[in-house]
Chain A
Amino acid sequence: MSQDTIYFFWDCLQYLINGIAQGSLYAMVALGYTMVYGIIRLVNFAHGEFLMMGAFCGYFALKFNLPMPVAIIASMLGAGIVALIVERLIYRPIRGEGRIPALITAIGASMFFQYTGQLVFGADPKTVRPVFTEVVYNFGEVNVSNIQIFIFFLTIFILIFLWWLTHYTRIGVAMRAASYNLKAAELMGINTNRIIAFTFFLGASLAGLAGILMGYTMSVEPMMGLSLGLKAFVAAVVGGIGIIPGAALGGYIIGIAENMVSGLYKSSWRDGVSFFILIIILLVRPGGILGKNSKEKV
């Protein structure tokens, strides 16, 4: 094998590692997207803004010299509380009015946070320091940072946690029941409004977590939710919207594809590739990779 070929493989491995770390963060954001869709069939365009609001909470916590773990909790709680307010004041009153009004409302909520964010926080990007001091390990020609490893295992932990929650806890099984049939769940005595609110809170807090962890690659600014939200949406649809493992799979696919394409070809294609994948999936498997591709359930 020529020297060039060997380096090509080392490069690919490096992009793969970077892609998995990036994809883990997309997965975290996509999980909330998919859970909310699963329970009320709402494509929540404001999900990226929950992430942004959470990231700002983390940013301010750090600015006030609070320790990193507190900043992480602030991000998660901040995003979760914003989601609870949006659900209660905006989404709940129009629930049952149809999907198009809900979609338009979600886009409106998203824009409200983007522009109010610019007004209140300023449009300039702000840096958030990485969760901990970055240490880079070399394996042959590839580099892996402790942050990447942390993010990867954290995402795996979150997936296991969500599996446990939805299969072994009363509220989690109720979430699955409600996502299948809201009215029947209500007949069981399940307060479905509370289950929906809890789902929003949980999904948004994962977005907030991703928001602050992203500090190691990108800055915090009011429009950050736009592209991240879109990518998470693409990830959720690619994996099969409404399906929790699908969101994770979609996140990894988008993260890896982006890093491969921008590394091996052109970095300007980075954002385009996720939409390319989306179009292919919608043509080949409209229900997503893990989706049933049958008529949508109730």
Chain B
Amino acid sequence: MSTHPILEIKNLNTYYGNIHAVKNISLSIERGEIVTLLGSNGAGKTTTLHTISGLLKATAGEINFDNQSIQNLPAHRITALGLAQSPEGRQIFANLSIKENLDMGAYLRRDNAGIKTDLEFVYNLFPKLLERRSQLAQTLSGGEQQMLAIARAYMSRPKLLLLDEPSLGIAPILVGTIFRAITEINQNGMTILLVEQNANLALKISHRAYVLTNGEITLQGKSSELLSNPEIKKAYLGN
């Protein structure tokens, strides 16, 4: 296995017209890690993930994924290289059944045995999805849709999984389920970049973290250390 970081971003800049949403950020993720990208609303977290996934194009900077430059590839090619995203707001296919959503996650795969194993894994992780697999995804609750979005991204068996605010707008009892699932997915060997506003939980389950403020990285370090950092406590932990 390569010792290079699975993802390495250097001096990345992304604009929406004149709005400079991501300002010269650099970050790297090692294989096997959970890395948290922390930041308040509008900090540029989603923009960063969209730029990595190829839904947005960077105006400057480099993105290297698995020893390959990806910033000029279309999104579907980046997914094919092993980088999946569970997007903000879930973005599930409400008009498809739950099983069809998972099939779409595995769209590029041909290894039927592997698909079956991974399907069992996500059904085991989220039994609700198994129970309701033939129903339309629009019948799921917000929290269940979030589980589906994570499971769907997992089904491509990515080397790196991007999760954009998996706890946003879901019932508090399900937040715990989601975070336990993220830990389990990571223990199963998958590297994760987790975007969160729920700093407390995100820092507890991740190895390292970056803090994004107004499009810039203002702080970075081990999650355990950031948990006790006074600045973080004040800005994100509410004490």
Contact = CB atoms under 8 A, between A and B. Distances in A.
Contacts of A190: 76, 104, 107
B103 A173 contact: yes
Given A170-B107, A173-B104, A174-B104, A187 B93 contact: no
Contacts of A179: 95
A90 B54 CA distance: 24
Contact of A192 (B76, B80, B84, B96): B76
Contact of B85 (A174, A180, A187, A192): A187
A227 interface: no
Contacts of A176: 93, 95-96, 100
A189 B55 contact: no
A154 interface: no
Contact of A187 (B55, B95, B103): B55
Interface string A178-203: 01110111111111100000000000
Interface in A26-65: none
B74 A181 contact: no
A289 interface: no
Nearest to A167: B100
B99 to A, nearest CB: 10
Residue of A176, A180, A188 with most chain B CB atoms under a 10 A cut-off: A188
A180 B100 CA distance: 13
B26 to A, nearest CB: 24
B44 interface: no
Given A187-B55, A188-B79, A192-B76, A181 B105 contact: no
Given A188-B156, A190-B107, A173 B100 contact: yes
B91 interface: yes
A185 B104 CA distance: 8
Interface residues of A, number: 19
Given A173-B103, A177-B104, A187 B96 contact: no
B94 A186 contact: no
B137 to A, nearest CB: 10
B76 A186 contact: yes
B75 interface: yes
Interface in B115-166: 152-153, 156
Contacts of B105: 188
Given A189-B76, A189-B80, A189-B107, A184 B95 contact: no
B53 interface: yes
B136 to A, nearest CB: 11
Interface in A82-121: none
A191 B76 contact: yes
B148 to A, nearest CB: 12
Nearest to B156: A189
B171 interface: no
A170 B104 CA distance: 8
19 contacts: A170-B107, A173-B96, A174-B104, A176-B93, A176-B95, A177-B100, A179-B95, A180-B93, A180-B96, A183-B87, A184-B87, A187-B53, A187-B79, A188-B104, A188-B107, A188-B156, A189-B76, A190-B104, A190-B107
Given A174-B104, A174-B107, 6 more contacts: A179-B95, A185-B93, A187-B55, A187-B84, A188-B105, A191-B76
